[in-house]
Structure 1
């Protein structure tokens, strides 16, 4: 998932690449001033729009960015790399460096807040990574809302005037549409707010005419309509809306704003060129005079600018009039200028829409699903890459635990100025609290892995610190393919070492030490182990049915507890099982051991049947689970006390039937223990009374909760019961 910081970094790279692209286009256009027609001069700007939206393209040796080595990194506050000039010799190093500031990273490692990449991360985010992205997104929201507000205000205003018909103008517009073979419905709206004839709308297209222009001659109105209809034919409203959106995104870059102004200027000149191709040569000068007439009438009364405006800038009007004057020159060499334009467009697209070799590495890194780490050295980069790719994204499934760790041995590496490929043996795993033991719940040991990183040096563009940034990795295949895949992945010497030396014990010990450090850092005292911990499972297929019950997904499949961090808080999920009553109890606690959930299920064959403790208090024990309904019988615990190591239950008993009932009880089960009790009570039909039930040899009330069941005799029937 991308955060605001990720999106900001993407936008920053786009604005830099786009600025370079736009400036290059400006230079080429200046050099080719009178050698390409205006259509292709305008189409060159489409390269800028694409580059601003998608800054990274395919790798090419012909890319301009081979000569302009821009390096972009997903985080700007990288830590310095003290080992940038590492030896080429094989380096046998176990990653045992466990930082002293572990307490600052506990939230990350326990799943609180951001993704827990490694418990070794240092420091806080810099202002560049933390504050500026929010300033940028605030600017985007503000400029977008401002633009939409102005646009909606204008649209609402012209809707009031849409019903006013001007047959004279409609007839002229229809004639112009026939010349351009346009069948689409296009409305005319006369409005006094607009400062220039304009075309607006993508789905519903309108031509807006200032009210002080409707009295122009038919010929002048034809010129105006032809100009706006050529915008429609060129799909310029789509481009204009795209420019508006990109302008909101790149509001902070004045270069982009200037470039967009040039795009709109060339859009108008390309439109003029298309109009001139429709008109006869005798009408060219008249078209220029129409523009001057429109400029004279509206320029000094500028009120509103929305959509594509025919005349809104004196300087650009001057250039457009010069284009009209020189139209004969362009038409004489139309084929040459067209060929030149096409060649220029193809070459510029190839040069500017591709990326250089070095940039492509960074581009690939940007689109990786993990964030780049603030690495001090290669070991930390390796640690983060393993955790992110082989724990957090384990074959597309997140097996991330409360602590995710790894340990590795570097067998060798191959590096150049831009990248380093590392060959290593690694052990990695996820640790969780299960039955109050911090154990590895998932992992892999002694795994050959090849990882490739890009290298960023001090002082590179957009970078002040050095570091290693993940590009790609490969892990050896299991089973019969193991040897072949190792030989394919590693150079010969490293492959032989990987196949002949077992680092399992060494790496597991190191990983377990890291897990112990984490447990100590959160103030827990318990056993920590990377070995598999045996669990006591319920001897039934009923828990297979548990997977179909969403409310039970977080509870362990064994008898005992499992802990989870959810939204920054620790919760304990416990599964209890009473083999005498065949009842499974699921209890959820918070960190203060306060009970949040308590659900009981009766195992019936291979199914779990929920016991609704609000409606049922007991069941028949005639080899079939039948319940006594509260409508017939009620036994409520009013108080519990411990007196002389005996537990006394104060019970309110109610017989709701019309028959008498006698209850005698001498034994009761508490968990797997059998306790002696004293209890005898008789109830007439519809009678309720208080009675004490004494359980012998009980010293702690906690020993009773959710563990009591027993047998009582009512009339001639035998009943089991459960106390809540």
Structure 2
């Protein structure tokens, strides 16, 4: 049982991640579209901030159901039933029978409509968790190796350099102590550390830059700290590990880092005089000349970037204005709209639920767990379809003791289950209408008397039938 619980839990984790990743991909496309359409209208800060919607989507497993959610337009996923199914539990047969002699509490069957797909879902789940382990180990080893190489690097002692750095901190209102260190391993200035931040500079960089150029670099790295970019990059790296199979999310993370650098440029430029803004661009070009191929290190935030990205940053600097780091009303409206439509879950429009009727006449009793009904009556009482649908199963169940059983599939992911029938009146594959005879009430299988065990599943999960039955009445 422990192994079954572990397998089902893994399947649930994978199917949720897969479904969420697909929805997140749609959000990525919308963000890229909005960025393209609003390239000249939205401020630089907006282009990076909008990516926080993606972080929220990937990181938060719960969201509000909404009829205006964009995902209402997506088709129902075939793996949803496994995703939402609870781990199987053993039915307490003795207790149930002792309280209600004619009842038999149905055991939730997670694979009623997924018996064929369950095996490949399990296989994909194992591949997914294996990939998560590989990426997690690889990133952890890479970070550990880098920290081991950097732990003995020297601190900057030059008083003139430290004075410039202190002035930059004071100008930006940063009081936290942030050490400066030199390392031969670095190919670009970079900020590291969430709780104990430090700025690493490439070896001999101080000899190649003048005071103004160093100030530009310090302002940029301190902007990363002021904006809390290291925690953001770390969270995104962890989320990428969980969604390693989605190439669109890897591209989105890369674009997010590019927009992050431009947002830091914009923040740093707000602390410079207007005449000094072009010099900031020259510093960037000089860094590209000195370090043509800077290495991008995870869990860090640096200054240099690729030639293509530098071109984009230089273009931004050419047209920079102080308002480039402020929010606009249109930008706020777009972010709120994207959040409302993409950070909510799909919900069926009210009134579209399948109406169900009580399938047989008799004394109706609810199971203790509220997931099934027992309808007690005489042998051979007619049992009718609670709603129109297709017969998925009509046979004697030898595995769970439910005797003659009929399972119908309905619209919107619903299924109805009729167990312990005396006789079957339909065959698998047939289409039935609401109220059509599908069997006769009986006592087959593990049963102590004539009764119908009735259950409604929503996307594979047993739900309280009394909440879905139409006026709680039996069919005439």
Q: Output the TM-score relative to the length of structure 1.
A: 0.47
Pairing 1:322-341 to 2, within 5 Å after superposition: 322-328=315-321, 331=323, 338-341=328-331
Tell me, yes or no, if structure 1 residue 257 matches structure 2 residue 262: no
> What does residue 286 of structure 1 align with?
279
Partners of 2:234 and 2:349 lie apart in 1 by 30
Correspondence for 2:335? 345
Change (3 A) 1:340 1:228: same
Q: What is the CA–CA distance in structure 1 between the aligned matches of 2:286 and 2:17, rounded to whole Å?
A: 42
3-state DSSP of counterpart to 1:209 = strand
Deviation string for 1:442-495 (max 9, x for gaps)? 9999699673524xxxxxxxxxxxxxx2262156xxxxxxxxxxxx87445735
Match of 2:77 in 1: 71
2:28 counterpart of 1:22: yes
- Report what 1:46 is aligned to: 52
Counterpart for residue 412 of structure 2: 418
Name the residue aligned to 1:494.
473
Q: How does 1:172-571 map to 2 (within 5 A)?
A: 172-215=164-207, 216-300=209-293, 302=294, 305-306=297-298, 307-328=300-321, 331=323, 338-358=328-348, 405-406=401-402, 417-420=411-414, 451=456, 453-454=458-459, 469-470=460-461, 472-474=463-465, 490-492=469-471, 494-495=473-474
More helix by percentage: 2
| Alpha-carbon distance in structure 1 between the residues aligned to 2:349 and 2:191 | 40
CA distance in 1, matches of 2:248, 2:269: 32
Unaligned runs of 5+ in 2: 84-89, 93-106, 351-358, 360-365, 373-398, 422-444
Matched pairs, number = 386
Q: Map 1:123-162 onto structure 2 (within 5 A).
A: 128-162=120-154
CA distance in 1, matches of 2:420, 2:229: 57
Q: In 2, Cα distance between the equivalents of 1:321 and 1:119?
A: 57
Please state which structure has a larger fraction of its residues in strand: 1
SS of the equivalent of 1:131 reads: helix
Give the SS at the match of 1:451. strand
Deviation at 1:187, TM superposition (A): 1.5
Q: What's the offset of the Cα at 1:168?
A: 3.4
Any conservation in 2 of the 1:195–1:305 contact (CA below 8 Å)? no
The aligned residue for residue 612 of structure 1 is none
Is the 1:61–1:356 Cα contact (8 Å) retained in structure 2? Answer: yes
* Counterparts in 2 of 1:418 and 1:196: CA distance versus 1, 3 Å: same
CA 1:278/1:120 → structure 2, altered by over 3 Å: closer, same or farther? closer
Q: Which residue of 2 aligns with 1:482?
A: none
Deviation string, structure 1 residues 501-548 (Cα, Å, up to 9, x no partner): xxxxxxxxxxxxxxxxxxxxxxxxxxxxxxxxxxxxxxxxxxxxxxxx
Cα distance, 1:275 vs. partner? Answer: 1.0
For residues 161 and 271 of structure 1, the distance between their equivalents in structure 2, rounded to whole angstroms, comes to 26
- Unaligned 5+ segments in structure 1 are 78-107, 111-115, 361-377, 379-384, 392-402, 428-438, 455-468, 476-487, 498-724
What is the DSSP-based 3-state SS (H/G/I as helix, E as strand, rest coil) of the residue aligned with 2:464?
strand
Indicate how the Cα distance of structure 1 residues 130 and 280 shifts in structure 2: closer, same or farther if over 3 A, else same.
Answer: same
Equivalent pair of 1:269/1:320 in contact (CA under 8 Å) = yes
- Find the aligned partners of 2:177 and 2:449 in 1 and give their Cα distance: 66
Shift, 1:389, TM fit: 6.8
Cα 1:445–1:285 shift into 2, 3 Å: farther
- Find the residue that maps to 1:48 and give its secondary structure: helix
Are residues 264 and 70 of structure 1, via their aligned partners in 2, closer, same or farther at CA, if it must alter by over 3 Å? farther
1:325 CA displacement:
0.4
> How far does residue 233 in structure 1 lie from its aligned partner after superposition?
1.0
Note the C-alpha offset of 1:212.
3.1
Could you tell me how far 1:248 is from its partner in structure 2? 1.5
Over 3 Å counting, the alpha-carbon distance change for 1:150 and 1:407 in structure 2 is same
Give the CA deviation at 1:141: 1.1
Instruction: Give secondary structure in 2 for the equivalent of 1:3.
Output: helix
- CA change 1:175–1:446 in 2 (3 A) is farther
Once the two structures are superposed, residues 539-590 of structure 1 have per-residue CA deviations (whole angstroms, 9 ceiling, x without a partner) of: xxxxxxxxxxxxxxxxxxxxxxxxxxxxxxxxxxxxxxxxxxxxxxxxxxxx
* Counterparts of 2:196 and 2:168, CA distance in 1: 19
**Alignment RMSD (CA, Å):** 4.2
Q: Which has the larger radius of gyration?
A: 1
Distance in 1 between the 2:133 and 2:218 partners? 35
1:132 shift after superposition: 2.0
TM-score (norm 2): 0.70
- Distance, in Å, in 1 between the alignment partners of 2:349 and 2:227 is 34
Greater shift in the superposed pair: 154-163 or 175-184: 154-163
Deviation at residue 145 of structure 1 after TM alignment: 1.1
Relative distance call for 1:448 and 1:132 in structure 2 (3 A) is closer
Counterpart CA distance in 1 for 2:192 and 2:164 is: 19
